[in-house]
Amino acid sequence: MSMIFLLLLAAGITSFIVGFQITKLPQPDSSIIKAGELLEKAEAAYGEGSPEIVPFLYTLAERIIKHQKNYEVAFPYIERAFVIRSRLGEPESLEMAAALQRTGECALFMGNTLLAEERTSKALAIRRARLGDDHPMTGQCWAVATMLELLKARPGIQPVMLRSIISVNPMIPAAMPPAAKENAEKTLVCIDRARKEVWGAVSQPETTFGYDAAWNAFANCDPLYDEYMKAVDALKKGPLVPGAPAQNCFIATAVYGSSDCPEVLSLRSFRDRKLAPTAPGRVFIAFYGAVGPIAAALVRNRPVPRKLCRMILDPLAKRLGRG
């Protein structure tokens, strides 16, 4: 019990370091927690660097964006998928285009327009070559490109605010700057095709641009979508790999930069040997599973919080390792 108390105390102090940021976030939605659990299951089954976990990274990021509107927390998961795809050496594949487009869109609404433009332009080039200018997936890129051009014409406005404005009051392409007008018109062509071919809707051609309307029209139009969903459904039905850990050490992995370093292995071993068999330990594991991914995302790219967390975790891991 004393070791459990020590671990709870350390977790409390660690959470305090990033707590002021976490308290600004909504409580984790149940669908986010489930998506996180599926990602953990996929990592245990396939490995943390395997391309098979990419759909699960996308699913978790999508749910964070949908339910929390927090692109900063979602971005590390999408970027991780991008890194995995990049390592495969298939720069012109549709899978690579999906990773580029997703990171570009997320970067846009984080306010990183330089990264958004770089990634989106590459995704657009691939999809135009592979799918054509009027394919709904190409339309995703045209929509982001439209937003980027509108932001250039309105310096100082936040991307999320611009999205809200033109979602409530969609814009006529003719009223836009020339580059934005061209991209918006191409987006509208893609929306019309998506509604006819994917959704089976017969309607008048779209004449105004709103980002949310485009996003909704293009939902589930990805030719890779069925493949992703089959992978997710298969893992939902399948058991965990025998002997695989039930959950990752999110914060420790973010602090040390690896899930296989001695400190993380020590903490994980203590969890499996000492915490999981006890009722108080299981309560702690459940709590950690809810807040751990969010805390890890906030710490991962911040040197000062990482250093402070490491000052706490180093002696704890060393002591638990002796137990």
Rounded to an integer, what distance in angstroms lies between the CA atom of residue 112 and that of residue 120? 12
pLDDT digits (tens, 9 = 90+) for 112-126: 999 999 999 999 999
Domain boundaries, the chain: 2-23+239-322, 54-234
Q: What is the 3-state secondary structure (H, E, C) of 125-140?
A: HHHHHHCCCCCHHHHH
SS3 221: coil
Is residue 302 pLDDT above 80, yes or no?
Answer: no
Identify the top-confidence range among 39-48, 49-58, 75-84, 190-199. Answer: 75-84
What's the pLDDT band for 160 if we cut at 50, 70, 90?
A: very high
Are the CB atoms for 222 and 99 separated by under 8 Å?
no
Rounded to an integer, what distance in angstroms lies between the CA atom of residue 71 and that of residue 73? 5
**Percent share of the chain, pLDDT over 90:** 40
pTM, to two decimals: 0.66
pLDDT at 123: 97
Please count the residues of the chain. 323
pLDDT digits (tens, 9 = 90+) for 171-224: 999 999 999 999 999 999 999 999 888 777 666 788 999 999 998 888 877 766
- The sign of the torsion formed by the CA atoms of 33, 38, 43, 45 equals positive
pLDDT at 258: 65
Residue written as token pair 């799918």: 131
Rounded to an integer, what distance in angstroms lies between the CA atom of residue 43 and that of residue 77? 13
pLDDT at 49: 85
The radius of gyration computed from the CA coordinates of the chain, to the nearest angstrom, equals: 22
pLDDT at 110: 95
Are the CB atoms for 274 and 282 separated by under 8 Å?
no
Rounded to an integer, what distance in angstroms lies between the CA atom of residue 288 and that of residue 212? 34
Q: For the structural domain made of 54-234, what CATH number should be given?
A: 1.25.40
Distance between the two ends of the chain, CA-based, in angstroms?
13
